[in-house]
Amino acid sequence: MAQPREFYERILNTVDDGLWVSDHEDRILFCNAAMRRIAGVELDAIIGLSVIDDFPEETSGQLLPYYARARESLCPVNYEIEVVTPAGRHSVQAGSLSPQVIDGQFAGMICTIQDVTEARHTEHELIEAGIRAQRYLDMAPSIIIALDREGLITLLNQEGGRILGCEPKEALGRNWFATFILPSTRDEISGVFARLMAGDIGDVEDYENEIVTLDGTRSRLIQWHNTLLRDPQGSIAGLLSSGQDITERRQTTQELEKTRTIIDSTTDAVLTTDLEGTVTFANAAVAELYGYEPEELVGQPVSILWREEDMPDLLGAIELLISGQVIRNLEALLLDKQGNEIPALISLIGIRDEQGAVVELLGITKGIRSLKNAQEALKESEERLRAAMDESPFPVAVVDDLDQTILYWSTSARRLFGHDPRTTAEWYELAYPDPDYRKSVIDRWKPFLEEARKSRIAVNTGEYRISCKDGSVRLCEIYAQFIPGNLIVRMNDVTKRKQIEDALRESEEKYRTLVNNTQQGVVIAQAN
């Protein structure tokens, strides 16, 4: 038995979606209760109105094209439109238009309506939020990436694309481990990921590993911070990671460690201070030189290493360094932890920042106590040697091999010859005033010098007549010997010996003449 019309109307009035029915002349015959809420007016104000002619443009204007299409095609049509309801409220409505057909002719329309204003507003907000979130992700200075349970990339920001050498959309859907992890570590890292997804291990919040760019030409070291993603039921759904490219930082750290190792291995004390003179770094060698452990000096004023009377020099040096000057091998007396004076050589330089401004001061100090002691011993030895040479009866000269300057002229040479020459050229002029004889001396001298230079032993160059300041002439044997950088010349005065030899020779000649001319036989016998 057919149910009465009121039965169906009661059913339709219980649904949340609006519904109205028009006849073949497009006049509204029925509206359910939900239409009162959607339209904002009483239903009596709508019943009997023409869908096409009786509603204002802002109410039905966008619906009519859909209505006409359904009417003409006699097929259902879905729609979503923005309207102003009869009550004047702006809303977004969606639904369907279903033509009623009798004997192939249009007999009316059933229209369902949903007010989707809030839903569309929420969707719009979600879209805007997504856009903002993506914008924030793209502004982030680190790589941000999301993986699903299979290790496929579901999200990648712009910085991630830059580091990986591709557009973010190129990476979406790719397997992270197969594409961007080095083969040498792929099994290890993918194994950790698999255990995370299985829940076998807890969160691995921090992790470091190398990744490779999409084209495989460049690797980068990334420090990761990881968070597990979970679905509404709390099950693990994937992994969200943010990563910092620490390649340069790690390289810099390694270089700094290498530099620190070099600095700590040097025997020179190395200090850095700020511009106020507070120590900011000290290497291991400060303990040997100053008696302080490095950590004892850091934070202390560098002035504790300087004598009170030298403080003006320290302040002046700091001013020079700040102005950009460099101080090299400054000799100073510094103080150790016990207050003892330390003879030292100091080199100072300003450390500049990227803008070129001096921001720190670097000092390198070499203790020279042993050098000073050696210098004193050498000086004492030289003085003893000089005294010995001055007292020697043999005149001695030391000549610079490069510029022929006479570096030393013994007292005995000055006493014997009366000359005090400063160069070899001046000596030749004084000792050999006759030009011809001087030339012959120089010519004789040259081959002996070459022999002495090669052999590095004393070479007797022969006998020479030397003119003295008082006009006398001395006959001297001259010996030449080279030591590094210098020529040692020793002169042996053989004048008296030659005079005696000449006298003996003359006496012998006279005696021989006497014997040869006597009329008596002469026999010379040697006593037993």
How many angstroms separate the CA atoms of 94 and 115, rounded? Answer: 7
Residue-wise pLDDT for 196-230, tens only, equals 898 887 766 678 889 999 998 888 999 888 888 88
The predicted model gives 276-297 an average pLDDT of: 91
Residue-wise pLDDT for 421-460, tens only, equals 999 999 999 999 999 999 999 999 999 999 999 998 999 9
Report which of 97, 126, 122, 118 is spatially closest to residue 37, judged by C-alpha positions: 118
* DSSP secondary structure letter of residue 471: S
- For the entire predicted model, the pTM comes to 0.39
Give me the pLDDT at residue 254, please: 76
Is 390-498 the same fold as 5-120? yes
Give me the pLDDT at residue 1, please: 44
Give me the pLDDT at residue 524, please: 53
CA 498 to chain centre: 79
Whose tokens are 């649904």? That residue is: 15
CA torsion sign for 75, 78, 81, 85 is positive
CATH code for 5-120?
3.30.450.20
The predicted model gives 164-184 an average pLDDT of: 93
Q: Which of 242-251, 264-273, 366-375, 481-490 has the lowest mean pLDDT?
A: 366-375
Give the pair of three-digit tokens for residue 85.
């309801």
Give me the pLDDT at residue 323, please: 86
The predicted model gives 488-504 an average pLDDT of: 87
Give me the pLDDT at residue 183, please: 92
Q: Which one of 72-76, 112-116, 329-333 scores highest in mean pLDDT?
A: 72-76
How many angstroms separate the CA atoms of 292 and 282, rounded? Answer: 10
How many CB atoms neighbour CB 273 within 10 A?
Answer: 25
Compute the mean pLDDT over every residue in the chain, rounded to the nearest whole number. 85
How many angstroms separate the CA atoms of 67 and 113, rounded? Answer: 13
462's CB contacts (< 8 A; 6+ apart) are 444, 448, 477, 478
How many angstroms separate the CA atoms of 93 and 110, rounded? Answer: 15
- Give the amino acid at 18: G
Query: What interhelical angle do 424-431 and 435-455 show, nearest 10?
Result: 140
CATH fold for the domain made of 268-372: Beta-Lactamase (3.30.450)
The answer to whether the beta carbons of residues 381 and 373 sit under 8 Å apart is: no
Give me the pLDDT at residue 316, please: 86
Whose tokens are 């010997």? That residue is: 481
Give the pair of three-digit tokens for residue 206.
């921090």
Give the pair of three-digit tokens for residue 177.
């481990």
Whose tokens are 């192939």? That residue is: 104
Based on its alpha-carbon atoms, the radius of gyration of the chain, rounded to whole angstroms, reads 56
How many angstroms separate the CA atoms of 42 and 515, rounded? Answer: 181
Alpha helices in 63-182 (DSSP H): 64-73, 117-139, 158-164, 168-171, 176-180
The answer to whether the beta carbons of residues 306 and 334 sit under 8 Å apart is: yes
Buried b (16+ CB within 10 A) or exposed e, 411-446: ebbeebbebebeebeebbebbbeeeeeeeebeeebe
Architecture field, domain 390-498: 2-Layer Sandwich (3.30)
How many angstroms separate the CA atoms of 477 and 501, rounded? Answer: 15
| pLDDT at residue 130 is higher than 80 | no
The predicted model gives 258-281 an average pLDDT of: 84
Residue-wise pLDDT for 390-415, tens only, equals 666 789 999 998 999 999 998 889 99
Whose tokens are 């910085």? That residue is: 159
| pLDDT at residue 182 is higher than 50 | yes
Report which of 255, 275, 274, 273 is spatially closest to residue 263, judged by C-alpha positions: 255
Give me the pLDDT at residue 116, please: 84
261's CB contacts (< 8 A; 6+ apart) are none
CA 140 to chain centre: 24
Sketch the domain layout of the chain as residue ranges.
5-120, 140-245, 268-372, 390-498
Report which of 255, 250, 305 is spatially closest to residue 279, judged by C-alpha positions: 305
Q: Is 347 left (phi over 0), alpha (psi -120 to 50) or beta?
A: beta
Angle CA 95–10–26, to nearest 5: 45
Residue-wise pLDDT for 344-359, tens only, equals 888 888 888 878 888 8
Residues in the chain: 528
How many angstroms separate the CA atoms of 463 and 468, rounded? Answer: 15
The predicted model gives 222-239 an average pLDDT of: 88
CATH fold for the domain made of 140-245: Beta-Lactamase (3.30.450)
How many angstroms separate the CA atoms of 192 and 186, rounded? Answer: 10
112's CB contacts (< 8 A; 6+ apart) are 17, 18, 19, 95, 96, 98
